[in-house]
C-alpha cells in the first residue's frame, strides 16, 4: 500500500475499536546507517473484550529532508 492508502485507512479506522490498547515494547536497533535504521519491536494489541493480538515487527526508517520516513514494515503475528 502506498502512503495515501495507508493514511486513508487510519483516518477512517480511528476510533472504530473502542477499548483498543496498543503497547509497543522490546525495541531493538538491528542496524543503523548515516540516514536510517532497521528497528525490531513487539506490538501487543488488547481489545475491550480482553482478546489479544501480539506481533513482532521490523521497520526500516530513513531521514529525508529533515523528516523521518517509514520506508518498510514487516509484521509477524504470534500465535
Distance (Å, rounded) from C-alpha 34 to C-alpha 10? 30
Neighbouring C-alpha atoms within 13 Å toward the C-beta of 27:
7
Spans of all domains in the chain? 19-78
> What is the model's pTM?
0.77
Q: What is the pLDDT along the chain (79 residues), one digit of tens a residue?
A: 677 887 787 777 777 778 889 999 999 999 999 999 999 999 999 988 989 999 999 999 999 999 999 999 999 999 7
Q: What fold, for 19-78?
A: Nuclear Transport Factor 2; Chain: A, (3.10.450)
The set of residues, in sequence order, having a beta carbon less than 8 Å from that of 40 and lying 6+ positions away, is 26, 27, 28, 30, 56, 57, 58
- C-alpha 78/C-alpha 19 separation (Å) is 21
- Note whether 10 and 31 are within 8 A (CB): no
Amino acid at each position: 500500500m502506498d502512503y495515501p492508502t495507508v493514511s486513508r485507512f487510519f483516518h477512517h479506522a480511528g476510533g472504530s475499536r473502542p477499548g483498543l490498547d496498543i503497547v509497543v515494547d522490546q525495541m531493538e536497533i538491528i542496524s543503523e546507517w548515516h540516514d536510517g535504521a532497521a528497528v525490531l519491536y513487539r506490538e501487543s494489541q488488547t481489545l475491550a473484550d480482553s482478546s489479544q493480538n501480539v506481533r513482532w515487527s521490523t521497520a526500516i526508517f530513513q531521514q529525508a529532508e529533515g523528516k523521518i520516513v517509514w520506508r518498510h514494515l514487516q509484521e509477524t503475528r504470534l500465535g
